[in-house]
Amino acid sequence: MKKIFIAIAIATTLFACQSKPEGTTAEVTDQQTAGEQTGTSYTVDAVNSSLTFIGTKPVGTHTGKMQVSSGTVSILENNISGGNFVIDMSKMEILDKDTNYSYKLVNHLLSAEFFDAAKYPQAKFEITACTPIPNDSTATHKISGNLTLKDSTKNISFPARISVSETEVHATADFVIDRTQWGVHYGNDKSLKDKFIYPEVKIIFDIYAKH
């Protein structure tokens, strides 16, 4: 019985200490002019591309996935000159091990309290710049682009790993954004205590584009 109480106490402590998602915080500025898509055009492979998000609150973590529905990437002199991606908000899935509340959580995230998918069915990302990063073991480029969520557009910059061949472009990155900068404020009040939801959300993408 004593071991059970100890186990419960440890679990409670771990949940209570849940913090905001870890990772590189994306730089956020006002919307910028999109890069001209010159060079060779590649079409985003929606089937094999993925976009994962991680959100946290004091008592737990939720992991989900959104569907990249379309997009293009342009390559000039072995570097990205421009590109855009469209995300279908209605295709959101929850990847939590405990699936009991997945359906309810998806509906909540798609409601007007969060992303209001009925009114804003798509999120968009439009590349404004892609700059090589020399001598970095974790990233090859710095990508900047306009991220549109709901009716708000902000330019974000983050490190990424990009490889280019004659037939494929592959880009991976993970970074943290503050959802309140796009007008998504639900649960962002520490007086809610265990119902408080951290404004920081981790984004992980793995994008393939084919020529």
What's the CA gap between 161 and 175, in Å, rounded?
12
Instruction: Tell how far CA 48 is from the center of its chain.
Output: 16
The stretch 51-65 carries a mean pLDDT of 92
Query: What band does 194 get if pLDDT is binned at 50, 70 and 90?
Result: low
Chain segment 93-109, per-residue pLDDT in tens: 999 988 888 899 999 99
Is residue 152 predicted with pLDDT exceeding 90?
yes
Arch. (CATH architecture) of 2-210: Beta Barrel (2.40)
- Greater confidence (76 vs 16) lies with 76
pLDDT at 175: 98
Lowest mean pLDDT among 82-91, 95-104, 166-175: 95-104
Backbone Cα Rg of the chain: 19
The residue type of 55 is G
User: 125 is written with which tokens?
Assistant: 């990302």
pLDDT at 196: 80
Is residue 154 predicted with pLDDT exceeding 50?
yes
Minimal CA–CA distance to 55: which of 119, 1, 117, 105? Answer: 105
User: 14 is written with which tokens?
Assistant: 């771990």
